[in-house]
Amino acid sequence: MKIGAALHYTPLDRGMRWLGRFLPKGLYARALIIIIAPVILLQSVVAYVFMERHYELVTRRLSSAVTADIAALIQIYESYPQDREATTLTRIASESLQLDVDILHNTDLPPPGPKPFFSVLDETLSNELRRQIDRPYWLDTVGRSNYVEVRIKLNQDTVMRVLARRSQAYASNSHIFLVWMGGSSFVLLGIAILFLRNQIRPILRLAEAAEALGKGREIEFRPRGAREVRQAGHAFLEMKRRIERNMEQRTTMLNGVSHDLRTILTRFKLSLALMQQGPEIEDLKRDVDEMSRMLEGYLAFARGEGGDAGETACETDLRQLLEEAQSDAERQGHVTELDIVGDPIITVRPDAFRRLLFNLVSNAARHGDRIEISANHETRWLTLHVDDDGPGIPADLREEVFKPFVRLDEARNQDEGGSGLGLAIARDIARSHGGDISLTESPLGGLRATVRLPA
């Protein structure tokens, strides 16, 4: 099977991917959409069916009844011409039909008025007037909010004006159904949102606990919520206990190895001190000292996180740590500048972070004469730069130096006294805090090491 076949998307897949770009990314928002969208769709269908069937049907029947009453009044008026002023007709219309009727002489129909925006009543009543009466008419459903005015031309100069309450020809109470439907939906959605928020909160708490574990911080966490969320929480706690147990066992083993090897090296030093001094003895002493330094570096890297895996993160004064690194570099004869912007208080594991700074500053001091240290903590992220004016490292080799036991001969002077673990340990510490280290070209012409940590 070709690889390209696995990347073939149907039009439905492409449509869903396009729609996914506009949907919210959070679980809470997506769950709300899952709840709200069907409710809105259902309410829309119910409202449409109600307006299309019940609402128009009731309005048509009411309009038909009013039109039939008007037609009956016209027949009564034409059947009894002796009652020219229509006194009896007016009384019957008012008492029995709740219609206000006037006979207008020597007048004509007014010009057509503007059509209403919501024209269900206007269209329905107009159709009934044409069907049942079939005479010239004039209709006003806008001028008076509570009444409907109908004028029918009886003959050349006589017009019957009829005023009917809007409720007689129009289903005016139908909005009550819509209000109840909308109100009940809002109440149910409000309850659903409250319950959903309580279900999402344990998931967010689990995510915070997992993020804190990745940064080496401790926060109190107890599994809560639905059964599946509790199961995930218990699995997280079990994973955390296994990691801590593994780290404890490794630390215990490394401490034992460190003690045994240091004991042997101490014997070597004592034996060399008791021997007659000479050039060969001095060379052996240097070799033993070099073995001690290399042993410390190997053990620090093997322990992980700079040898401070069991340390607890706490609020630390960044300015004090950087000033210590500056003083150490100046004692070695390097011109060192320090600049701090923003809040100097950060949350890190102090000893591990001190080792990170020491490794970066030592690396800069080993290969350059001038060092600049700058820190910015104006946002929730700490950005730290360590610059030097040394020979730098080619761009294609900058990731290689983070690998354990890698030492470059061409781009930087070989670290004769080191083991090639300084940058590897520094990156291990940075990543254990949830950040990382990158290498770029320095404004001083050498190498810039950039540390970015969530602090």
Task: Identify the residue with better confidence: 279 or 176.
Answer: 279
Task: Identify the residue with better confidence: 20 or 383.
Answer: 383
Last residue of a domain, one of 173, 198, 214: 214
Instruction: Report if residue 256 sits inside a domain.
Output: no
Residue 172: exposed, middle, or buried by beta-carbon count in 10 A (0-12, 13-18, 19+)? middle
Are 20 and 136 members of one domain?
yes
Are 206 and 330 members of one domain?
no
The amino acid at residue 362 is: S
Last residue of a domain, one of 214, 231, 265: 214
Kindly provide the b/e burial profile for residues 382-415, where b requires at least 16 CB atoms within 10 angstroms of the residue's own CB.
Answer: bbbbbbbbbbbbeeeebeebbeeeeebeebbeeb
Instruction: Report if residue 191 sits inside a domain.
Output: yes
Sign of CA dihedral 160, 161, 163, 168: positive
What number is the average pLDDT over the span 435-451?
91
CATH number (domain holding residue 436): 3.30.565.10
Last residue of a domain, one of 190, 214, 238: 214
Q: Tell me what pLDDT residue 2 has.
A: 44
Are 49 and 169 members of one domain?
yes
For residues 379 and 373, give the distance between their C-alpha atoms in angstroms, rounded to a whole number: 18
Looking at the predicted structure, is the pLDDT value of residue 401 above 80?
A: yes
Task: Identify the residue with better confidence: 445 or 178.
Answer: 445
Instruction: Report if residue 7 sits inside a domain.
Output: no
Phi, psi of 451 (to 5 degrees): -105, 130
Are 53 and 195 members of one domain?
yes
Q: Tell me what pLDDT residue 216 has.
A: 67
Are 337 and 201 members of one domain?
no
Q: What is the pLDDT confidence band of residue 414, given thresholds at 50, 70 and 90?
A: very low
Name the pTM for this structure: 0.50
Looking at the predicted structure, is the pLDDT value of residue 306 above 60?
A: no
Q: What is the percentage of the chain residues whose pLDDT exceeds 70? A: 84
What number is the average pLDDT over the span 88-93?
83
268 half-sphere exposure, CB direction, 13 A CA radius: 18
Query: pLDDT digit string (tens) for 118-146?
Result: 566 777 888 888 888 888 888 887 777 77
Number of H helices, E strands in the chain: 13, 11
Q: Tell me what pLDDT residue 305 has.
A: 47
Strands 447-454 and 370-377 turn out to be unpaired
Domain interval for residue 350? 310-408+419-454
Q: What does DSSP assign to residue 304?
A: S
Are 210 and 315 members of one domain?
no
Instruction: Report if residue 121 sits inside a domain.
Output: yes
Instruction: Report if residue 259 sits inside a domain.
Output: no
Looking at the predicted structure, is the pLDDT value of residue 415 above 80?
A: no
What number is the average pLDDT over the span 159-183?
76
Query: pLDDT digit string (tens) for 338-383?
Result: 999 998 898 888 888 888 898 899 888 888 889 999 999 988 889 9
Phi, psi of 162 (to 5 degrees): -125, 130
Instruction: Report if residue 316 sits inside a domain.
Output: yes
What number is the average pLDDT over the span 26-45?
79
What is the number of structural domains in the chain? 2
Instruction: Report if residue 398 sits inside a domain.
Output: yes
Are 185 and 326 members of one domain?
no
Instruction: Report if residue 89 sits inside a domain.
Output: yes
The amino acid at residue 215 is: K
Are 20 and 149 members of one domain?
yes
Are 333 and 447 members of one domain?
yes
